[in-house]
């Protein structure tokens, strides 16, 4: 009994260190206070569209959300990562940036990924995050990101 408890105590940190770091496929941003009015919806849309364009995205649809064309990310031996972005207004004081990651294999199969790994997010997320921050949007942290950034 003691040896199994000791084994569990030794193996638990090792197994926890091997767990992948997965992030949600969306980020929430608070709208600047000067734009958080019901009559400023068009201004929020214009600012988010300019942030998308400044970070290299091509906007292809604008109703009801801003949607972008897919962009290529990392290219591996048997697959290529691609991503598109949708920006949804949430009330008058928040916007949600929804990332749509897709893994396209050389055999023309594709898989929609329900998560963002750091390597998958690296080519796409930081540029858009910086462009939104430059336009006054503030990220709304939640869950593990809030805990990590509070340290």
Domains and CATH numbers, the chain: 22-150 (3.30.530)
Vertex 31: Cα angle to 48 and 89 (nearest 5): 60
pLDDT value of residue 73: 86
Q: What H or E segment, with its residue span, contains residue 138?
A: strand 138-140
10-residue mean pLDDT profile of the chain (151 residues): values are: 66 61 86 71 85 95 89 87 92 89 89 88 92 92 55 48
Tell me how far apart the alpha carbons of residues 76 and 38 are, in angstroms, rounded to a whole number. 45
Angle between helix axes 41-54 and 125-134 (nearest 10 degrees) is: 140
Tell me how far apart the alpha carbons of residues 35 and 37 are, in angstroms, rounded to a whole number. 6
Q: What is the pTM of this model?
A: 0.77
């Amino acid at each position: 009994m003691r040896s199994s408890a000791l084994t569990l105590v030794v193996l638990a940190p090792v197994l926890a260190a091997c767990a992948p770091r997965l992030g949600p496929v969306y980020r929430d941003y608070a709208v600047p206070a000067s734009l958080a009015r019901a009559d400023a919806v068009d201004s929020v849309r214009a600012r988010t569209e300019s942030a998308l364009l400044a970070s290299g995205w091509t906007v292809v649809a604008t109703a009801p959300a801003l949607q972008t064309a897919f962009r290529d990310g990392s290219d591996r031996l048997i697959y290529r990562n691609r991503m598109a972005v949708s920006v949804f207004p949430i009330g008058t004081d928040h916007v949600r940036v929804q990332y749509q990651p897709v893994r396209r294999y050389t055999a023309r199969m594709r898989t929609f990924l329900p998560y963002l790994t750091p390597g998958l997010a690296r080519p796409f997320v930081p540029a858009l995050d910086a462009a939104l921050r430059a336009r006054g949007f503030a990220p709304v942290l939640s869950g593990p990101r809030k805990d990590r950034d509070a340290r």
